[in-house]
Structure 1
């Protein structure tokens, strides 16, 4: 099957959607599908990553929150018919619009839906954008939600699409066998795009209630980094107690995961929670915010998984959970019951098969006419 995957950003850009799309596309390509990623970037390019052809179209509008490429629109208007299925990602980015509005190729939509914007401006514009969002949802033959919690939230805003929604949880990769470099103290890893809704500031404040042996390693980039660095400096936590690493290569990030005593996600909104799932797969004790997506992950994980759910607005409770997690030994690999990306590919290909046009195969028998 030939699949065109439309997304606002792609590896090496980082974030939950970017991670989801890269892993899905790599797994689809490994399963034998012909996958092309259609995305946006400051500069146009064509390259192959993980066996996936990645077409990057130059940005026409470079605003961080509302990136937009006319080149992507033109490509889809002219070339969408070359794909059996288009799979668009993220309600919260404009890239899904050309996939929905420029052609009639069967469309699958994974919204990664949070229900609101993550700044005052974006939250205010969210209701204004909803008519366009409704057109994407209406155009989609199937809408893939990554948790039941996301499906219920999406249904509350788009009830007419309930019968076209399916739940396919994100997958996890086998934990790599990495040797951790020896480091002093107990590292607590926080990874993700540095947006305010990730609430890393709560974790930074909680660090003031932990002993000096605890260190917070923040991995990722985003608009809130400067604000949170200033907070850590005011609290006297820079440069030893809180370290901002920015973006890391895959190998460097793997080494950071290998050395982490605990992982934390204080996010206020998640459609799934990739950081939490990856940590549980690696057996790393994890502290996560008590939001619907994380509660659903807790129910999916194996009994006894080292996971603490807390309210990040309670600094003392968050600090206590981090202290206990960092002092807990890692679980054995393979103990979690979360789906793998192989599971995701099987379920996603079933969705594609349900919406792709059926092909009539003509066989020619010797001495006979053509028949179906």
Structure 2
């Protein structure tokens, strides 16, 4: 992703001179934090924020203490501001967003950039308190489809979806599928700016020894361990065919202890299935670079950064046939029927 592409997110009301373009003060709200340890939204924000800071803008990212160490105040030229949140499944995002808005007011930003529909339920408050700031929001995915949410949470997230398509000066989507949905459902013409990933470099393989792995001897999947990511489908498919490759699952849960326990129970007694936990930096790069196959079994996505990363390494890929994966992968891989472990086993 080039810095020029990152700047595109800031072209709000380009026909007027309401907002200046150069040397802007920009704040990001809604993400857990950076540097990205896990999470597509966090990787997305990091890539854009760092490039904007490099271009000379004054960039602040609000972070959660449960994700980014509170004493970390700068990352590659981006200012980090740790803001309190209640670290529970239902209150983490909303409490952090609420307080971040008030901290943002003190900074008098030129641009306020929200991420995801959960935090976007408070776009109205940002609009009220910062009327002179350009308000931008990125619609990453329809979170209410995710199995972890109860009925009330899904209703609340749908309010956030309405807000993200009504309140900001500019709505961004990361996929054409979402852009078409926002036009059809809300009559909103969104700016389509897809996720991007940095091109890989030569990274070696020495980190693989941590898990007794060798180049080319494992199947890889990278995601948070959350039910809608479909890792249970992958484990079941893998166990149907007993391939001669190990299965490496990179990631951890997030308020999903029951699901993580379910996955561990599925894998019990099979030493070929390896859970590495969250990985980043060179360790993650080496896991990608040396895999024999990448599998992305998600039931719901926006535009999967892990899938794009696997493509950047030139890996053979199998993905669920949801529209967002078909948009990202096109003819560069294979698809299996969503939620069908038998079909996934056949494709592997």
Provide TM-score, normalisation by structure 2.
0.80
Q: Note the aligned Cα RMSD (angstroms).
A: 2.4
The structure-2 alpha-carbon separation of the partners of 1:46 and 1:255, relative to structure 1 and needing over 3 Å to count, comes to closer
Matched, 1:176 2:211: no
2:47 corresponds in structure 1 to 23
Q: How does 1:359-370 map to 2 (within 5 A)?
A: none
Aligned-partner SS, 1:138: coil
Q: What is the distance in 1 between the residues matched to 2:278 and 2:115?
A: 22
Q: How does 1:1-372 map to 2 (within 5 A)?
A: 1-11=24-34, 12-42=36-66, 44-45=70-71, 47-59=73-85, 61-67=86-92, 68-69=95-96, 71-79=99-107, 81=108, 83-93=109-119, 97=123, 99-104=126-131, 105-114=133-142, 116-119=144-147, 121-157=149-185, 159-160=186-187, 162-163=188-189, 165-181=190-206, 183-184=213-214, 186-222=217-253, 223=256, 224-233=259-268, 236-237=269-270, 240-299=271-330, 305=332, 307-322=333-348
Aligned-partner SS, 1:3: strand
2:16 corresponds in structure 1 to none
Q: Deviations over 1:282-318 (max 9, x none)?
A: 101111110111111133xxx6x3x111114332321
Q: What is the distance in 2 between the residues matched to 1:130 and 1:102?
A: 23
The structure-2 alpha-carbon separation of the partners of 1:3 and 1:294, relative to structure 1 and needing over 3 Å to count, comes to same
Gaps of 5+ in 1: 323-372
Give the aligned length: 307
* Kept after mapping to 2: 8 A contact 1:91/1:133: yes
Q: What is the distance in 2 between the residues matched to 1:40 and 1:281?
A: 30
Q: Deviations over 1:332-367 (max 9, x none)?
A: xxxxxxxxxxxxxxxxxxxxxxxxxxxxxxxxxxxx
Q: CA deviation at 1:135?
A: 3.4
Provide TM-score, normalisation by structure 1.
0.75
Q: CA deviation at 1:2?
A: 2.2
The structure-2 alpha-carbon separation of the partners of 1:190 and 1:75, relative to structure 1 and needing over 3 Å to count, comes to same
The structure-2 alpha-carbon separation of the partners of 1:95 and 1:126, relative to structure 1 and needing over 3 Å to count, comes to closer
Q: What is the distance in 2 between the residues matched to 1:123 and 1:50?
A: 40
The structure-2 alpha-carbon separation of the partners of 1:243 and 1:101, relative to structure 1 and needing over 3 Å to count, comes to farther
